Amino acid sequence: MSAPVHSASPSPGPSPVRYELLGKDADARAGILHTRHGEVPTPAFMPVGTQATVKALSAEEVASTGARMAIMNTYHLWLRPGEAVVRELGGLHEFSRFRGALVTDSGGFQAFSLAARNKLSEDGFAFSSHLDGKKLQLSPEEAMRVQAALGADVAMQLDVCAPGMSGRPELIAALERTTRWAHRCLAARDPEQAVFGIIQGGSEVDLRLRHAEELSALPFDGLALGGFSVGEPPEQMHRTLAQVAPRLDPSRIHYLMGVGTPRDLLIAIRHGVDLFDCVMPTRNARNGQAFVTGGRLVIRNQRFRLDRAVLDESCDCAACTGGYSRAYLRHLYMAGEILAHRLLSLHNLRYYARLVAGARTAILEGRYESYFDTKMRELGD
RNA sequence: UCCAGCUUAGCUCAGUUGGCAGAGCAGGCGACUGUUAAUCGCCGGGUCCCAGGUUCGAGUCCUGGAGCUGGAG
């Protein structure tokens, strides 16, 4: 469809991203992901900005919550406005005005979540666009070409994400194809862009370990765990993570894709996960739920009608320091006012950022278990 | 004063040849995990304006009344 964005450089420069491990506490890790758009202290949580925007928030507001890295979406931006438009306008950083580091998801998850709209083959996903029905082919090479045009710091390989309760044959087929696509994605990569591989295998520990080994043999700049929180019970994911995450190549960053609840994060960090993304803080915010010390508040609940308290006394987000009462936020939400979505999104992202920042400090100070126990107790639910 | 239409859930309204009273919104509660999501699900709710009549059975048909709206005078 179009020429490569960059010609291969004769002598590849330094890797576009580099993971630096600063300290460990048991299996939990604290480090820094060095990128051309800043250093990302890890463990880190990435807000999801599917359409080159974290819904309801400006790029400055996202940064103000403490997020140093965000994830955007290849499939959605490919369809609209089109990767050529984004490239023409200077790439995703310039286009979206997000100053931190960026990763683009490859579209593999849309193949899962929009399964009814596409057909899987060895050459990728034959999509029917959810916008206009247009037929599109997302091959490993096309996913890399689009991501290179979008210009994030990190591209994700195209992968096959099997549903959570798949049997071993499907899980094996998915991970084997993902490995073949891993080679194709690396061959098609833009040398200026980091690429992460995606480990599949569902809840089967032996498959996960086998796939981790296969992908670790390849020159990926990071290792992601995909195919979690796709329908299986959370405890099942936790058990699998406990056996798999600590054995991942320690020299590379460990990214758990699409996860999750505060509890999921605390558990995954304990097993050595460094990076997360999830729609939960922002989607739930827009659906009226606030994450607070002690659990979650459904802001539309009648009990908040006359509640003068802010969402969380111990929170330093714009909504809480601004003094916006639960009663006012409830009113805004019930009235359908956009400000409710904005303030709750700011609050929830700040909650997630503080959760992982607290974990990082605790790891570096050798007291993660105590942090873990305290936070898990606070969560209650 | 006459004529016509209307009166059913908090609100706006459906309700077939007479056969177990409904929807949307509002309200209450819940869900949400690499976003097709300011989305989705569940629930509470009734003197069907009133009084008679016909009928096995009336929100529905008949008679009378009340209120509201519009028109005429």
- Who wins on pLDDT, A7 or A237? A237
Is pLDDT of A37 > 60?
Answer: yes
Contact (CB, 8 A) for A301 and A282 = no
User: What is the gyration radius of the CA atoms in chain A, in angstroms?
Assistant: 20
Q: List, in order, residues 6 or more apart from A82 with CB less than 8 Å away.
A: none
Q: List, in order, residues 6 or more apart from A17 with CB less than 8 Å away.
A: A33, A34, A35, A36, A101, A153, A154, A194, A221, A222, A253
Is pLDDT of A1 > 90?
Answer: no
Angstrom distance, A5 CA to B31 C1':
43
Angstrom distance, A11 CA to B37 C1':
45
The DSSP code for A332 is H
- Confidence at residue A9, expressed as pLDDT on a 0 to 100 scale: 39
- Confidence at residue A11, expressed as pLDDT on a 0 to 100 scale: 43
Is pLDDT of A5 > 80?
Answer: no
Residue A114 identity (one-letter amino acid): L
Contact (CB, 8 A) for A269 and A356 = yes
- What is the per-residue pLDDT across A10-36, written as a single tens digit (0 to 9) for each? 344 567 999 999 999 999 999 999 999
Of all nucleotides, the one whose C1′ comes closest to residue A224's CA is B34
Is pLDDT of A264 > 90?
Answer: yes
Q: List, in order, residues 6 or more apart from A287 with CB less than 8 Å away.
A: none
Contact (CB, 8 A) for A103 and A154 = yes
Q: What is the mean pLDDT of residues A345-355?
A: 98
Nearest to A290 by CA among A352, A378, A246: A352
Angstrom distance, A350 CA to B63 C1':
71
Q: Dihedral (C-alpha) A40, A45, A48, A49: value to the nearest 10 degrees?
A: -30
Q: What integer best gives the mean pLDDT of chain A?
A: 95
Using pLDDT thresholds of 50, 70 and 90, give the confidence band for residue A8. Answer: very low
Of all nucleotides, the one whose C1′ comes closest to residue A196's CA is B34
Which pair of tokens denotes residue A180?
């073949």
- Confidence at residue A167, expressed as pLDDT on a 0 to 100 scale: 94
Is pLDDT of A2 > 50?
Answer: no
- Confidence at residue A13, expressed as pLDDT on a 0 to 100 scale: 55
- Confidence at residue A26, expressed as pLDDT on a 0 to 100 scale: 98
Of all nucleotides, the one whose C1′ comes closest to residue A76's CA is B36
CA angle A168, A169, A175 (to 5 degrees): 85
Nucleotides of chain B touched by protein CB (<7 A): 26-40
Could you give the count of Cα atoms lying within 13 Å of A27 in the half-sphere of its Cβ? Answer: 19
- What is the per-residue pLDDT across A277-325, written as a single tens digit (0 to 9) for each? 999 999 999 999 999 999 999 999 999 999 999 999 999 999 999 999 9
Which pair of tokens denotes residue A72?
């955007």
- What is the per-residue pLDDT across A138-179, written as a single tens digit (0 to 9) for each? 999 999 999 999 999 999 999 999 998 899 999 999 999 999
Catalytic residues of A: 105, 277
Portion of chain A with pLDDT greater than 70, in percent: 96
- What is the per-residue pLDDT across A66-119, written as a single tens digit (0 to 9) for each? 999 999 999 999 999 999 999 999 999 999 999 999 999 999 999 999 988 899
Angstrom distance, A190 CA to B65 C1':
86
- Confidence at residue A15, expressed as pLDDT on a 0 to 100 scale: 79
Is pLDDT of A7 > 60?
Answer: no
